[in-house]
């Protein structure tokens, strides 16, 4: 029996994927083989030796110690694209909130609910909340992955001029992008040309604080910024100064922080990006399927710390090895198997940064000492047999 521990409430449509004859699934699962998580903070958690995988039902993994997991041979999965439509729709809503003072108008109506002539008062005061239309404006999209690509394409249908930049854009993402989206050479071009900027990238060490005094200075006066990615992308004090100087006309974010809540021209949404029934279901299903495929077959898809490696099961046994990405290690692994007279039916190996993952399909029996010999090779992190 394999134990799947739930750290957050996971949609039943996802947990129902686990065969209960094989899996014990719940918040009380001890010594888990895998963990499913949404927003729970795992950064200070200690992991049991049996833990092989963590699946994040969502895209961001900043609540998971990804590097620590890689060192221990724990594969961390996320679910890119599963919540993309929900975030896309909220991004469009955020642009409309930035374009027109909808929230201010709604609040004004609430505050005047006792006015018996509210209809007349509305006509007198509505000009206070007038805004502009999206059509004809230029939208700059930073990050053209699953979400950013959808946002860019949707904006073209709103008659916006769209430019986008993503140094790491995949071939699949490029194919799915509307031809109307113009490729920007770099982020500076986005800053210089955009009336609206929306960002859809993770908060890595490279781009934390990317919206700061220097980058604000490169932007158009009155730019409107949408950040449904991560709060760490923005330097709060620099943002507030840019708003005070009217460099930034509006900032809409899905990540409220004490520094910006209640500030003029800043609209804080309570992290609703992926909080739709459809998104939560899609993420749960995708995460569960990835865990099943890994725990039962050793195949990896959508990992953030190990390469994606998948191969049909064709032999009698499958040996999956997590190891460091160094020269000659495949030769060493093959040498051990050969010395044990083990026939390699098929194999595949891929790397990702400092780490690599190799699958060996073998025919015949696998002696116990062969597995121990594989583990004893330097720079081997973990060996799983299926």
Question: Using one digit for the tens of pLDDT, what is the confidence trace for 20-38?
Answer: 999 999 999 999 999 999 9
Residue 325 binned pLDDT confidence (cut-offs 50, 70, 90):
very high
Residue 237 binned pLDDT confidence (cut-offs 50, 70, 90):
very high
State pLDDT tens for residues 253-276: 999 999 999 999 999 999 998 889
**b or e along 184-210 (b: 16 or more beta carbons within 10 Å of the residue's beta carbon)?**
beebebbbebbbbbbbbbbbeeebeeb
pLDDT at residue 176 tops 80: no
State pLDDT tens for residues 177-231: 888 999 999 999 999 999 999 999 988 889 999 999 999 999 999 999 999 999 9
pLDDT at residue 10 tops 80: yes
Query: What pLDDT, on the 0 to 100 scale, is given for residue 275?
Result: 86
Query: What pLDDT, on the 0 to 100 scale, is given for residue 5?
Result: 98
**b or e along 222-252 (b: 16 or more beta carbons within 10 Å of the residue's beta carbon)?**
ebbbbbbbbbbbbbbebbbebbeeebbbbbb
Distance CA(30)–CA(243), nearest Å, equals: 50
Query: What pLDDT, on the 0 to 100 scale, is given for residue 84?
Result: 92
Distance CA(33)–CA(47), nearest Å, equals: 10
* 177: β partners: none
Query: What pLDDT, on the 0 to 100 scale, is given for residue 259?
Result: 96
pLDDT at residue 174 tops 90: no
Out of 71, 89, 189, 259, which one is annotated catalytic? Answer: 259
Q: What phi and psi values does residue 39 have, to the nearest 5 degrees?
A: -110, -5
Q: Give the residue-averaged pLDDT of 346-351.
A: 96
Residue 359 binned pLDDT confidence (cut-offs 50, 70, 90):
very high
Out of 100, 271, 324, 373, which one is annotated catalytic? Answer: 271
Query: What pLDDT, on the 0 to 100 scale, is given for residue 167?
Result: 87
Whole-angstrom CA distances from 22 to 1, 4, 18, 358 are 5, 10, 8, 25
Active site residue 372: no
Active site residue 382: no
Query: What pLDDT, on the 0 to 100 scale, is given for residue 342?
Result: 93
Out of 38, 200, 230, 323, which one is annotated catalytic? Answer: 230
Quickly list H helices, the chain: 12-15, 66-71, 84-99, 102-111, 118-125, 146-157, 171-176, 187-193, 213-218, 236-244, 277-297, 329-339, 368-376
Query: What pLDDT, on the 0 to 100 scale, is given for residue 173?
Result: 73
Q: Mind giving me the DSSP string for 153-173?
A: HHHHHTT-EEEEE-TT--HHH
Q: Give the residue-averaged pLDDT of 35-64.
A: 94
Query: What pLDDT, on the 0 to 100 scale, is given for residue 71?
Result: 97
**R_g of the chain computed on alpha carbons:** 25
Active site residue 280: no
Q: Which structural domains are found in the chain, ordered by start?
A: 1-83+275-305 (3.40.50.720), 84-268 (3.40.50.720), 307-386 (3.30.70.260)
Residue 357 binned pLDDT confidence (cut-offs 50, 70, 90):
very high
């Amino acid at each position: 029996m394999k134990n799947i521990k739930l750290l957050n409430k996971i949609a039943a449509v996802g947990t129902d994927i686990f065969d209960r004859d094989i899996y014990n699934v719940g918040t009380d699962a001890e010594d888990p083989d895998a963990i499913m998580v949404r927003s729970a903070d795992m950064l200070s958690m200690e992991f049991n030796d049996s833990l092989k995988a963590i699946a994040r039902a969502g895209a961001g993994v900043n609540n998971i110690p990804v590097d620590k997991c890689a060192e221990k041979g724990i594969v961390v999965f996320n679910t890119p694209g599963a919540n993309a439509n929900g975030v896309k729709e909220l991004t469009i809503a955020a642009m409309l909130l930035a374009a027109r003072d909808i929230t201010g108008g709604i609040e004004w109506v609430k505050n005047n609910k006792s006015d018996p002539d509210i209809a007349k008062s509305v006509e007198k005061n509505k000009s206070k909340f007038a805004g502009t239309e999206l059509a004809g404006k230029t939208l700059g999209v930073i990050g053209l992955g699953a979400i950013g690509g959808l946002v860019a394409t949707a904006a073209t249908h709103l008659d916006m001029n769209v430019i986008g930049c993503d140094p790491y854009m995949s071939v699949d993402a490029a194919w799915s992008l509307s031809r109307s989206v113009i490729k920007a050479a770099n982020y500076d071009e986005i800053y210089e040309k955009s009336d609206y900027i929306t960002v859809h990238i993770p908060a890595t060490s490279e781009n934390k604080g990317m919206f700061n005094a220097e980058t604000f200075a490169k932007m158009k006066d009155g730019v409107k910024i949408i950040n449904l990615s991560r709060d760490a992308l923005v330097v709060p004090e620099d943002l507030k100064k840019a708003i005070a100087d009217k460099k930034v006309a509006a900032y809409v974010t899905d990540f409220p922080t004490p520094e910006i809540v209640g500030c003029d021209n800043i609209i804080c949404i309570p992290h609703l990006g992926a909080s739709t029934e459809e998104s939560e279901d899609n993420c749960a299903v995708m995460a569960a399927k990835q865990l099943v495929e890994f725990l039962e077959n050793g195949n990896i898809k959508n990992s953030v710390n190990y390469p994606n490696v998948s191969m049909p099961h064709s032999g009698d046994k499958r040996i999956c090895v997590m190891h460091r990405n160094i020269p000659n290690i495949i030769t060493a692994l093959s040498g051990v198997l050969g010395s044990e007279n083990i026939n390699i039916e098929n194999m595949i190996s891929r790397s990702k940064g400092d780490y690599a993952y190799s699958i060996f399909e073998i025919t015949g029996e696998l002696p116990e000492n062969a597995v121990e010999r594989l583990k004893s090779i330097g720079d081997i992190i973990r060996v799983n047999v299926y």
